[in-house]
């Protein structure tokens, strides 16, 4: 548990100090960064009817139902060939994707939506708070992050707690705002070897550089939104924790042990450790901002 928290904390610090500052500059060369995020990953079955079809860094998930497929996140615009190839390598057909979902409307998770929608004819579902961001290609929202991406039409806007059903699968959308206005955690049940497990696909919970928690000029209630999201996630039952970046749930380590029993992706403490690390960083930032305000 402590080791997991240390790893998660280190990853959050690295992202905040090196990755996101690059993305918030008006002029930058992101080619090396995007290339590192877009490395191919062999697709695999995670547990039950949930399959991994993303890159080494960017999580994309395929959920099999008896009425077609659900795709959660599409990664970068440049990831489209990799994600399509991964889906087909598992023996699935693109045309069987009926619904596309998202964790949040940043370029590294939804830039591939437009191309995938065109290739499959799937319907795009998203929380209403993230809809303007998706439909503007990332240009809307309280804190737009470049690079912007091809806009995608949202076919159905969802409310907090709304259940998306396809065949024998039900996925619940939970509004966990902060990272974006419509930041979304998805929950569902999965069965493996006769046992039922609670699955949580979280969104990102980090604070992007340039986003203030105290007296934010573009979203006055952002700090309260984060606090409510942390509380909501901590109250969730979770046996299998997954997310939009593979480091969040130590995928590389778990993948090495896949095939052993119990399934390494069954990790009840994982979500709590992830939330705790992000909440700690959140409180530390608020303290820094308040101290800085006193010195001015």
Report pLDDT for 16. Answer: 44
Task: Give the pLDDT band of residue 20 (cuts 50, 70, 90).
Answer: very low
Report pLDDT for 30. Answer: 53
Please give the average per-residue pLDDT across 256-280, as a whole number.
97
pTM across the whole model? 0.89
Please give the average per-residue pLDDT across 81-88, as a whole number.
98
Report pLDDT for 3. Answer: 53
Residue 183 reports pLDDT greater than 60: yes
Pull the structure tokens for residue 212.
Answer: 């203030």
Backbone angles phi, psi at 42, to 5 degrees: -60, 130
Instruction: Please tell me the distance from the alpha carbon of residue 184 to that of residue 175, in angstroms, as a whole number.
Output: 5
Residue 64 reports pLDDT greater than 50: yes
- Report pLDDT digits (tens) over 224-258: 999 999 999 999 999 999 999 999 999 999 999 99
Look at 6 and 117; give whichever has higher pLDDT.
117
Instruction: Please tell me the distance from the alpha carbon of residue 255 to that of residue 210, in angstroms, as a whole number.
Output: 35
Residue 5 reports pLDDT greater than 80: no
- Report pLDDT digits (tens) over 92-114: 999 999 999 999 999 999 999 99
Residue 19 reports pLDDT greater than 50: no
Note the helical H segments in 25-165. 31-37, 80-89, 107-110, 113-120, 131-135
Domain edges within the chain? 2-23+40-295
Residue 26 reports pLDDT greater than 50: no
Q: Considering the domain 2-23+40-295 in this protein, what is its CATH number?
A: 3.60.15.10
Cβ pair 111, 75 in contact under 8 A: yes
Q: CA torsion sign, 145 to 203 to 126 to 86? A: positive
């Amino acid at each position: 548990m402590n080791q997991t928290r240390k790893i998660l904390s280190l990853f959050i610090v690295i992202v905040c100090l090196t990755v996101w500052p690059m993305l918030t500059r008006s002029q930058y060369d992101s080619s090396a960064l995007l290339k590192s995020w877009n490395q191919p990953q062999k697709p695999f079955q995670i547990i039950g009817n949930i399959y991994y079809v993303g890159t080494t860094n960017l999580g994309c998930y395929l959920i099999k139902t008896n009425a077609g497929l659900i795709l959660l996140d599409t990664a970068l615009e440049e990831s489209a060939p990799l994600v399509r190839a991964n889906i087909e390598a598992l023996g699935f057909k693109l045309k069987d994707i009926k619904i596309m979902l998202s964790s949040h409307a940043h370029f590294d998770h939804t830039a591939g939506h437009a191309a995938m929608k065109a290739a499959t004819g799937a319907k795009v579902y998203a929380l209403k708070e993230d809809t303007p961001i998706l439909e503007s290609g990332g240009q809307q929202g309280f804190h737009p992050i470049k690079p912007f991406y091809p806009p995608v039409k949202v076919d159905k806007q969802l409310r907090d707690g709304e259940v998306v059903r396809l065949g024998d699968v039900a996925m619940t959308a939970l509004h966990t705002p902060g990272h974006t206005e419509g930041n979304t955690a998805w929950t569902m049940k999965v069965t493996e070897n006769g046992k039922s497990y609670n699955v949580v696909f979280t969104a990102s919970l980090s604070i992007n550089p340039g986003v203030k928690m105290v007296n934010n000029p573009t979203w006055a209630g952002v700090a309260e939104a984060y606090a409510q999201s942390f509380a909501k996630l901590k109250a969730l039952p979770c046996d299998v924790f997954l997310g939009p970046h593979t480091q969040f749930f130590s995928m590389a380590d778990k993948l090495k042990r896949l095939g052993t029993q119990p399934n390494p992706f069954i990790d009840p403490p994982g979500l709590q450790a992830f939330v705790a690390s992000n909440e700690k960083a959140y409180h530390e930032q608020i303290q820094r901002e308040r101290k800085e305000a006193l010195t001015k």
